[in-house]
Chains A and B, each alone.
Chain A
Amino acid sequence: MNQTVDKKLDLTVNRLPLITWNHLHMNQCNLSLRVPETGAEVKEQTWTPDAPEGQTSDPAVLVHEGHMDLLRDFSEVETGMGADVVRLLTAGGYTSDVYRLREGEGTVKLKYALTGNGVTANFLGLDVKQGAALTVIMDFASEPAAGEKAENSETEKNAADTSTDVDIIKENTPAAAAGAGVVLTKAHLGKNAILRLVQIHRAGNDFTLLSDTGAFCEDGARVELIQVVLSGKNTLIGAAVNLNGKGSTFSSNLGYRVEKDHRLDINYTANHFGRRTQCDINAVGVLRDTARKIFRGTIDFRNGSGASKGNEKEDVLLMDDGVVNQTIPVILCAEEDVEGNHGATIGELDDDTLFYLESRGMSEEAVYALMERARLSSVIRKIPEEDTKKELLTCIGDE
């Protein structure tokens, strides 16, 4: 047996920049993962405009490159989960894809197959040059794992005092245990560049997915992040955007549905370095059954970020008594001339709303389904790529 197969690493990810009381179990997420041997298969990989044959260095086209050294390339880009993800990838093996758009507009579509019992790791580097606009659709899907429960799988609870708990599948029964996938995405945006990044998370009922993203913005650059979470035993999402250039902006829209005993652990950070930078972080979702979710959202106004603004808002609907919902918005200020707002709406359906909707012939279950669909649909409809949008709307029954 390959020596790396048995090697496990203890990881701390999604850590708050300033920790709070330990007993709240919100500061970070601790987990143990076997080091990956290779990347998940990218089942579909398309990009437009394509480079003419033999001219991969054509400056006017989107260029697809192979393996990168994570410790060297994109090293200036921080991500939401933190340094442990790079540590995990460089300890084992990973697959890497890098796209560089020199000018004009381009689109990349990637579909990652989250299957098998092992641990996979993929790195995606995005280099968007000055004035270029790149749209990237990343679909993380388990096929056909969703709905299938592996027999004899054991779980271990990794619960350090300062962590949220994440069940990680033990690897001592590899024939039966389900796997984990790690996808690290780093982007560098030149002056006035635009990155529209769409990430769809639909891992299987036994699968653990770590989706970690980071972006570095020069003057006037813009990151528009759309993330949808539809399934997955453990889904961990980190996203950090460094607004270094003046006037750079970051907007994110997250829509999630967490059900059964699944867990979602999120950490967003917007680091404002440049003047007149702006971030808008929005999350909407529903929790069902005994699902657990933690949302950490940090807006950090650093020295030099005068006249900047940051907003974060979460709207979560709790559909069952057994759900656990945690939200921790953080606004840090090292500048006086900044504006930061946060808000959270956490609710259940009250009797009057339920009566109103039921009086139109909808059963309680149909009402819940409608509310869930509406929340997810409001995010999915923002996806700039029509085929993906249509496919997801059909998937949630809204088309």
Chain B
Amino acid sequence: MSEQLLDVRGLKVKADGKKILHGVDLTIGAGEVHVLMGPNGAGKSTLGNAIMGHPQYKVTDGQIFFKGQDVTGESVDKRAKMGMFYSFQNPIEVPGVTLFSFIRSAKEQVSGKRILYLQFRKELQEKMKILDMDPSYAERELNVGFSGGEKKKAEILQLLMLNPQFAILDETDSGLDVDAVRTVSEGVREFMKSGDKSLLIITHATRILEALHADKTHVLVNGKIIAEGDASMIDDINENGFEKYEQAAAQKD
């Protein structure tokens, strides 16, 4: 088994006073691709947000370890600096801040060093080319007026530029047309090229998975992981839905 990167133990999470996750265990090794599936409202995005440390998602029990270190109480930026990345389902619009200056500032913060303007611009243009992005987007305000596809490309652009160890892709392929999914998948493949990066892919659709080999699939229902398996589970869920797994879980209870 590969070296353990993320280890979530008995995680219980509350948001807006409501219990959403009821003891989730999840382990992801270096270089692995995990897929998290589940019906609407199962708690998939809550798990992603909680792993990343969103202050509105309160961990009431359990722990999150990253690279062997307990990060349950760590700040969001500290987690990012350690190598975590969260690709948002609905990226936030930030007026007044250009995509260029945002990524440059973030990269400087993560690396802890000043990055030369020309060197950064060259790298950014290379990554934008992979994602078939018009270079003029670099000077546009972050996500402001971007289409759904452009926002997702901007997320993957940040992934490529910041180059973290582990990324959570939250519904990255939802709402995209076939061409956009292909381009975004190309970006994710580029990220995984080094072989030591890990992914947790939260998805309803599975189009993004056509370009990636999944090592493990988890099914989350009502805040609990009720089934786990290999990549073949994805096809099974696509054909038959979650019912079978929900019934099995109910019998177990």
Interface of A toward B, CB cutoff 8 Å: 284, 315, 351-353, 355-364, 366, 370-371, 373-375, 377-378, 398-399
5 contacts between A and B (CB under 8 A): A351-B54, A356-B88, A360-B102, A360-B103, A362-B80
Q: Given the complex, which residues of A lie within 8 Å of B109, measured CB to CB?
A: 360-363, 366
Size class of the B contact interface (CB-based, 8 Å):
20 to 34
- Asked whether B80 lies within 8 Å of A355 as measured between CB atoms, the reply is no
A374's partner among B52, B86, B98, B158 (CB-CB below 8 A) is B98
A398 to B, closest residue via Cβ: B101
Comparing B89-97, B185-193, B216-224, the segment that makes contact with chain A is B89-97
- Asked whether A359 lies within 8 Å of B80 as measured between CB atoms, the reply is yes
B162's partner among A351, A361, A373 (CB-CB below 8 A) is A361
Q: Given the complex, which residues of A lie within 8 Å of B106, measured CB to CB?
A: 357, 360-362
A352's partner among B81, B86, B92, B117 (CB-CB below 8 A) is B92
Q: Given the complex, which residues of B lie within 8 Å of A370, measured CB to CB?
A: 97, 101-102, 105
List B residues 45-103 near A (Cβ within 8 Å).
49, 52-56, 75-77, 79-81, 85-86, 88, 91-92, 94-98, 101-103
A377 to B, closest residue via Cβ: B101
Q: A355-B49, A357-B106, A370-B97 are in contact. List 14 more A-B contacts (CB 8 A).
A: A284-B96, A353-B92, A353-B94, A355-B53, A356-B88, A356-B91, A357-B94, A358-B80, A359-B79, A359-B85, A362-B80, A374-B97, A374-B101, A377-B101
- Asked whether B97 lies within 8 Å of A359 as measured between CB atoms, the reply is no
Number of inter-chain CB pairs below 8 Å: 79
- Given the interface pairs A353-B92, A356-B92, the reply to whether A361 lies near B102 with Cβ below 8 Å is no
Q: Given the complex, which residues of A lie within 8 Å of B49, measured CB to CB?
A: 355
Instruction: Check: B110 CB closer than 8 A to any chain A CB.
Output: yes
- Asked whether B117 lies within 8 Å of A375 as measured between CB atoms, the reply is no
- Given the interface pairs A351-B55, A370-B101, A374-B101, the reply to whether A358 lies near B75 with Cβ below 8 Å is yes
Minimum CB–CB distance for A399 against chain B, Å = 7
Chain B 139-156 per-residue mask, 1 if CB under 8 angstroms from chain A, else 0? 000000000000000000
- Asked whether B56 lies within 8 Å of A360 as measured between CB atoms, the reply is no
Minimum CB–CB distance for B124 against chain A, Å = 14
- Asked whether B76 lies within 8 Å of A358 as measured between CB atoms, the reply is yes
A345 to B, closest residue via Cβ: B95
Minimum CB–CB distance for A358 against chain B, Å = 4
Give Cα distance in the complex from A18 to B50, angstroms.
53
Minimum CB–CB distance for A379 against chain B, Å = 11
Minimum CB–CB distance for A349 against chain B, Å = 9
List B residues 100-149 near A (Cβ within 8 Å).
101-103, 105-106, 109-110, 117
Give Cα distance in the complex from A364 to B77, angstroms.
8
Give Cα distance in the complex from A370 to B142, angstroms.
12
Q: Given the complex, which residues of B lie within 8 Å of A356, measured CB to CB?
A: 88, 91-92, 94
Q: Which of A358, A360, A398 has the most CB of B within 10 A?
A: A360
Q: Given the complex, which residues of A lie within 8 Å of B101, measured CB to CB?
A: 370, 373-374, 377, 398
A351's partner among B56, B75, B79 (CB-CB below 8 A) is B56
Q: Given the complex, which residues of A lie within 8 Å of B158, measured CB to CB?
A: 360
Give Cα distance in the complex from A315 to B94, angstroms.
13
- Asked whether B80 lies within 8 Å of A361 as measured between CB atoms, the reply is yes
Minimum CB–CB distance for B152 against chain A, Å = 14
Q: Given the complex, which residues of A lie within 8 Å of B96, measured CB to CB?
A: 284, 315, 371, 374-375, 378
- Asked whether A362 lies within 8 Å of B77 as measured between CB atoms, the reply is yes
Minimum CB–CB distance for B90 against chain A, Å = 9
- Asked whether B77 lies within 8 Å of A361 as measured between CB atoms, the reply is yes
Minimum CB–CB distance for A233 against chain B, Å = 27
Give Cα distance in the complex from A377 to B97, angstroms.
9
- Asked whether B98 lies within 8 Å of A360 as measured between CB atoms, the reply is no
Q: Which of A355, A364, A398 has the most CB of B within 10 A?
A: A355
B77's partner among A363, A371, A374, A375 (CB-CB below 8 A) is A363
Q: Given the complex, which residues of A lie within 8 Å of B79, measured CB to CB?
A: 359
A362's partner among B54, B98, B105 (CB-CB below 8 A) is B105
Minimum CB–CB distance for B172 against chain A, Å = 15
Q: Given the complex, which residues of B lie within 8 Å of A373, measured CB to CB?
A: 101
- Asked whether B76 lies within 8 Å of A359 as measured between CB atoms, the reply is yes
Q: Given the complex, which residues of A lie within 8 Å of B80, measured CB to CB?
A: 358-362
